[in-house]
Structure formats: C-alpha cells, structure tokens
A = this chain, B = another copy of it.
Amino acid sequence: MIEDQYRIPREEVHGRIVRLQQALRREGYDGLLLTQNVDILYATGSMQTGYAVIPAEGEAVFYVRRSLTRAARESAVRTAPLGSLRGFRAALERDCPQLFAAGGGRTLAADLDTMPAQTYLRLLEALRSGEAASAPTLADGSALVRRVRAVKTPWEIARIERAARIVSDALTEALNDLREGVTELAWMARLEYELRIRGHIGMMRVRGYNQEIVTGMVGSGAAAAEPSAFDGPAGGRGLGPAAAQGVSGKTFARDEPILIDIGCCVDGYVIDQTRTAVIGALPDDLAEAYKRSEAILQAARRRMVPGVRCSALYQEALRLADESGWPEHFMGFGADRVKFLGHGIGLEVGEWPVLANGFDDPLEPGMTVAVEPKFAFPGRGVVGVEDTYLVTEGGPRPLTCYPEGLIVLP
C-alpha cells in the first residue's frame, strides 16, 4: 500500500503536462517521448520503467514495462502495458493517431541526452515498421524538457526545502564528530547515516552521462583539491581509480580547509550546499580566498532577480575572481577549472539553468539555483561556499538553511 503523503498530487502532474504541452506547441513538436526514469517521474508521478508519451494536444499515456502494477497505482496519467517494441508502434498509432500521418512529417521530441543509442536505434526501427501511416521522426527534446523542469512549482519547492532542512540537521549532528585524526570516509559515513535516517533516498541523481554523486564530497587539505571527472569545482581524492572523487582515507588535520559540499535527496528532490570548516584556523591567504568566495556569492545573490541573464552572473563572478588575484584557482585549478558559477537543482543535481557562458536566457521566478564560488589550491585545499536560492520577483530566497560563515572547530 502506498502511503498517501508520498503520492504526487494529480493536479501537480497535470500542471506539468500542461506546461510540457505548451512548450511542445511553441517549439513546433507534435509530441514528447520520455524514457528516462526522472523525466517519467516528472511527467507521470511514477518512476516505473517504460515510455511516457505526451502529445502536443490530447491525453498522455504511460506505456509501462515494469512494474505495471505499481505504475497503475502511482501514475497520474493513463497507464498501458508496453509489451514488445513492435507492439509499441501499433499501440501508439491507436492511442495517438495525431502523431502519424500518411506522408510523414510528424516529429516526436525525446530525451536523447539520456536515452541510450541502442534504445534509440531500436525505437526508430520499431516506429518505422511497415504500417499504413508514416511514423513520427525522433528529435532531440532534451533542452525542452530541461527548460520546463527548470521552473519549479510550490509543491516542488516545499520538497526542496525539506531536503535543505535535513541537510542542515544532519550536518549539525555530524559536526560533533569532525575531529583531527578522523578519516574523511569515516566522517562521511557518519554524515550519510544522519541523512539517511531522516529520509535521504541514498543517492543524488545527476543527469549527465557518467556523472555520479553519492552525497557530495567532503575533502580536506590537499585531498580536496585533487581534480576529478566530476563536473564541479572540487573533485576530491576519492577511494582509488574506481571511485576517483569525493572522500578519501585521509585524516582531518589542523589548520587546513575542509570542504563540505553535500546534499541529499528526499521525496525525489535534492538540495546542494557547501560550507568550509577548519579545525583551528585557516592560513591567512586561504582565509582571504574564503572571504572572496563569500563576496562572490553575495554579489551574485544581489543580482539574482528575474530577467537577469545567467551568463551575466557568471561573467560578474569571473571579474571578481580576477580582482581577487586568484583567477587561476577559481572553480578548480588551471586546466581542471569548470566553467560555471552555479546550476539548477530539483529532481537532479545539475538541472537548468546553468550560470555559465552560453546560457543567455533570463532567470525566471520559480527557478532554483545553487551558486557555488570556490577557490582550489593544489596541495593545500579548497575553500568556498554554496547556497541554493529560489528566484522570486522579490529577489532570491535562500532554500539552504544552514547558518552562513566559516565553520571553526576547536
């Protein structure tokens, strides 16, 4: 029996479908095919596997591979068994005849940024199987989906706020055990325990291919500044080549920065927050770099109002980093720097918008953006801060709720 508080309200899901359909019509697509679990959750209220099809006009259908039993209970849109791929073409033609036309010409946008090529090729073949009316072509609808998902509803924001409170509470609890001589791994285990018992689902979903997050990274001194495959300003030494980011077996030491870049996922929604801690005191230059990161965050925060271009916020941060005297250390070091200041969060880490060059769209009310200025010093550590804000007409409202400032431990 699914507990009622966990069910996503029907009107919430229906509102999302309305917005997806508006975007489809605006961009000239005839429908949307979603295959990724998170996209499917967003558009149906259920995270079972299969294909969700949302025509630009008309009723959405969730063709379920597994588990149909569960999807039928959870989904706010009609469910149907997926069956074989060949059967999918026939079912789609029956349910959504508007996607088929004698001469072709219909286009179905799809989440091609996540859908495996093997699935894509098999779907193409199935759709083109010899039936009377021509099947729609598949187009890359990733950007459309990401744009719609970027603007959150009040229901979604409430979930993100709950995740933020859990991170704050868990961090407060775990900091009691952050001591010299404790390994990063052991302390992370402690923190993850505190997150998990409060409802963290045990992972933070991230959209990018090959990107992985458990609960973020905790890195101290030199270990924090080691670069990684993760698309963020601080990688972390990790636990060897097979887990080459995040916590390592290094023990915490006095007077070195400890970067605590963590989050959790509750009811599907993530939060992202960074604090810098130190046992003792930071060296003067790193203390100064830390203050610069706070100043860059505050500068971004002052400008985070609807209408401001995301790229402008990034460029302003680059200018302030130049002024700091450490431009080569901003958002990573040297060739390993990342080229953004912040990113959307929601069902996934790394949603849109991205505060980066090329993202010239304006901020909109309802966007939830993690801003994370950091300075990396190879061999010494990473300092920085990150808070997540909701963009509102009245300015940014912080969603992260852990107190601001450097965490100084005795």
A interface with B by C-beta (< 8 Å): 1-3, 6-8, 35-37, 41, 45-49, 66-70, 74, 110, 112-121, 140, 142, 185-186, 188-190, 192-193, 196-197, 199, 201-203, 209-210, 212, 214-215, 222, 226-229, 231, 235, 237, 239-244, 246, 249, 265, 267-269, 335-336, 347
Contacts and interface: CB of A to CB of B under 8 A. Distances in A.
Contact of A226 (B70, B201, B229): B70
Given A67-B229, A199-B185, A241 B7 contact: yes
Given A116-B114, A185-B196, A6 B67 contact: no
A196 B202 contact: no
A310 to B, nearest CB: 21
A210 B38 CA distance: 8
Nearest to A336: B67
B242 A335 contact: no
Contacts of A199: 185, 239
26 contacts: A6-B239, A6-B241, A36-B210, A37-B212, A45-B241, A46-B244, A47-B242, A66-B228, A67-B235, A74-B241, A74-B244, A112-B116, A112-B117, A114-B116, A114-B209, A115-B116, A116-B117, A117-B119, A117-B140, A120-B120, A185-B196, A188-B202, A192-B193, A192-B202, A202-B243, A243-B268
A119 B112 CA distance: 8
A241 B75 CA distance: 9
Contacts of A6: 239-241
A115 B114 CA distance: 8
A66 B336 contact: yes
